[in-house]
Structure 1
Amino acid sequence: MRKSLIGFGVAGLAAVALLAGCGSGDDMAGVQHSSTAASPSAKGQQDGHNEQDVKFAQDMIGHHQQALDMAAMVPSKSTNPKVTDLGKRIAAAQDPEIKKMNEWLTKWGAAPASTSMPGMDHGSGHGSMPGMMTAGEMAKLNGATGAEFDRMWLDLMIKHHQGAVEMAKTEQEKGSSADAKKLAQDIIAAQQAEITEMQTLLK
């Protein structure tokens, strides 16, 4: 009888150990699951953005900045009130958009746009962004005045706007952030309308 009780006790201890082992395994699985849920790769999906959204914001900030640089030339060089008015409207629209995209990059924990990146330093010609002016084009534009400046500025700004529209369409196709895709749609609508306006002014 004593042997039976001893055997029962040993079996009971083994069962407790087995249950404890299973509990430990479940706990570890829970830790692993929690770690996976908090992984950086999942963070972007939780925030509702992807790599395309980050690229769109970084690139469009540089693109907009060059448009602001071009618009800043207009008051002292243009002789056409309609061109002067358009330059003011472009600056008024794009400066707030730059601020908005910088806020997104901060919220997303992404690197800020850098004006030293190829294709962003007044259009070095080495970047991949469509519509950016080269340094030579910017220098030539800066050296023009009057009607010559107006024609050159309109030609270059049309090209610049067309590049922005292309970038915005890519964002709509591949982006994930609802806010970024909404801005892309706004850019397409506004800049296509300005392209039509500039083409009319050239005529």
Structure 2
Amino acid sequence: MNSSTVQRRTLAATVLVAVLALTACGDGDPPSPSPTTPGAATTSATFNAADVAFATDMIPHHRQATAMADHAAGRAGSASVRQLAARIRAAQDPEIRTMSAWLADRGKPVPSAGPTAGHGDGHAGTPGMVSDADMARMMASGGPALDRLFLTLMITHHEGAITMAKEELAGGSDPGARQLAGRIIDAQTAEIATMKRMLATG
């Protein structure tokens, strides 16, 4: 056997070993993710219908509360009631903006902020909404009479908001919406306790 034949066989053997080595390495690697495998990069919605319902219903609910609070902040007889009303308005205005942006970002309709935004009869199924008749009575009141009426109506209104927020925690999936629901429960539970004390001592 001449030297050229030996060289060709040696080269062929080297190539074969290299091919086998590459094949072995390839067999040990995990397959590249495909669109149907769990490891595939997928884009899934982080929100569901409960999240949308929560924001859609809570926006007009908050708007009614801020309309009530705005009136009480200027015309209540007690300084404590006026201060509480101002705090409620300051807390809920930003939440309205947050929920409106949340809906818009997801391509969902944002409830109108028209002249009837604070009316309750159009949202009769929403927990805690004050009827148009009670809203008119409150808006016509001032001084000590307004203090008691505002506190009484706002307690019921807050209880409705807490019910809605608990429904979001039970059925919603969006982390931001659920976090807001938790904050609403904490803040409005504390405000209910404050308003009940005011009624008891007023």
Q: TM-score, normalised by structure 1?
A: 0.74
Q: Give the aligned partner of residue 195 of structure 2.
A: 198
Q: Give the aligned partner of residue 17 of structure 1.
A: none
Letter in 2 for 1:100: T
CA contact under 8 A between 1:125 and 1:133: conserved in structure 2? Answer: no
Q: Give the aligned partner of residue 104 of structure 2.
A: 106
Letter in 1 for 2:48: N
What is the CA–CA distance in structure 2 between the aligned matches of 1:185 and 1:200, rounded to whole Å?
23
The answer to whether residue 165 in structure 2 is matched with residue 151 in structure 1 is no
Shift in alpha-carbon separation, 1:76–1:89, aligned structure 2, 3 A: closer
> Mind listing any 5+ residue stretches in structure 2 that lack a counterpart?
1-33, 37-41
Q: Give the aligned partner of residue 179 of structure 1.
A: 176
What is the CA–CA distance in structure 1 between the aligned matches of 2:106 and 2:73, rounded to whole Å?
37
Q: Give the aligned partner of residue 127 of structure 1.
A: 124
Q: Cα deviations across residues 178-203 of structure 1 (Å, max 9, x unaligned)? A: 10000000000000000000000001
What is the CA–CA distance in structure 1 between the aligned matches of 2:143 and 2:118, rounded to whole Å?
26
Match of 2:60 among 59, 62, 67: 62
* Counterpart secondary structure, 1:47: coil
Shift in alpha-carbon separation, 1:114–1:125, aligned structure 2, 3 A: closer
Seq. identity, %: 42
Q: Cα deviations across residues 94-135 of structure 1 (Å, max 9, x unaligned)? A: 00001111111011111112357xx96510165210100111
Q: TM-score, normalised by structure 2?
A: 0.75
CA contact under 8 A between 1:68 and 1:95: conserved in structure 2? Answer: yes
What is the CA–CA distance in structure 2 between the aligned matches of 1:137 and 1:58, rounded to whole Å?
23
Moved more, 107-116 or 171-180: 107-116
> Mind listing any 5+ residue stretches in structure 1 that lack a counterpart?
1-29, 34-41
Letter in 1 for 2:130: M
Q: Give the aligned partner of residue 169 of structure 1.
A: 166
Compare the two structures and name the one with the higher helix fraction: 1
* Counterpart secondary structure, 2:108: coil
1:140, distance to aligned residue in structure 2 (A): 0.5
Letter in 2 for 1:177: D
**How large is the Cα RMSD of the aligned pairs?**
2.2
1:75, distance to aligned residue in structure 2 (A): 3.2
